[in-house]
Amino acid sequence: KKHINAVRSTAYLKGRVYEYLKMLEQIKGTNNGCLIDTTASDSGATRRANNLGSVQYAIKLSDLEQKDRTMKAVTEEGLTNLQHAGNVGAEIQPTDGNNKCRLMLATQTDGLAHTSALGGGITAMAGYPQLKTTETIASLAAEENLKSTPSRDTKAGVDAYMHAGQTDFKTKGDYENETTALHERPTLVAATRAAMGQKDRHEETKTAEAQVSAYFGGTEASRADSFLALVDKDKIPKGIAGLQEDTFIGQITNTEQLNQILSYYVYHASLDYSALRKKLEETTKKKDPKAVADLC
Cβ pair 150, 158 in contact under 8 A: yes
- Strand locations in 46-195 (E): 47-48, 51-52, 55-56, 74-75, 78-79, 122-123, 129-131, 138-140
Q: 160: left (phi > 0), else alpha (psi -120 to 50), else beta?
A: alpha
Q: What pLDDT is attached to residue 136?
A: 66
Domain covering 2-171 assigned CATH 3.90.150.10 in the classification: yes
Neighbours of 94 (CB within 10 A): 19
Cβ pair 261, 240 in contact under 8 A: yes
User: 235-236 and 47-48 as β-strands: parallel, antiparallel, unpaired?
Assistant: unpaired
Collapsed DSSP state (helix, strand, coil) of residue 295? helix
Cβ pair 17, 128 in contact under 8 A: yes
Q: What pLDDT is attached to residue 289?
A: 60
Q: What pLDDT is attached to residue 141?
A: 85
Cα-trace Rg, the chain: 32
Cα distance from N-terminal residue to C-terminal residue, the chain: 45
DSSP 221-238: GGGGHHHHHHHHTPEEPT
Cβ pair 186, 180 in contact under 8 A: no
The CA distance from 274 to 285, in Å, is 17
Full 3-state SS string of 35-84: CCCCCCCCCCCCEECCEECCEECCCCCCCCCCCCCCCCCEECCEECCCCC
Q: How far is CA 128 from CA 124, 136, 154, 158, 202, in A?
A: 6, 17, 7, 11, 68
Q: What pLDDT is attached to residue 173?
A: 42
Q: What are the residue ranges spanned by the domains of the chain? A: 2-171, 173-225, 233-296
Neighbours of 14 (CB within 10 A): 18
**0.75 surpassed by pTM:** no
Q: List, run by run, the mean pLDDT of 10-residue segments along the chain (296 residues).
A: 85 90 86 72 78 81 69 78 68 66 83 84 87 76 82 87 77 56 85 68 69 86 84 89 88 85 88 82 68 56
Q: What pLDDT is attached to residue 16?
A: 92
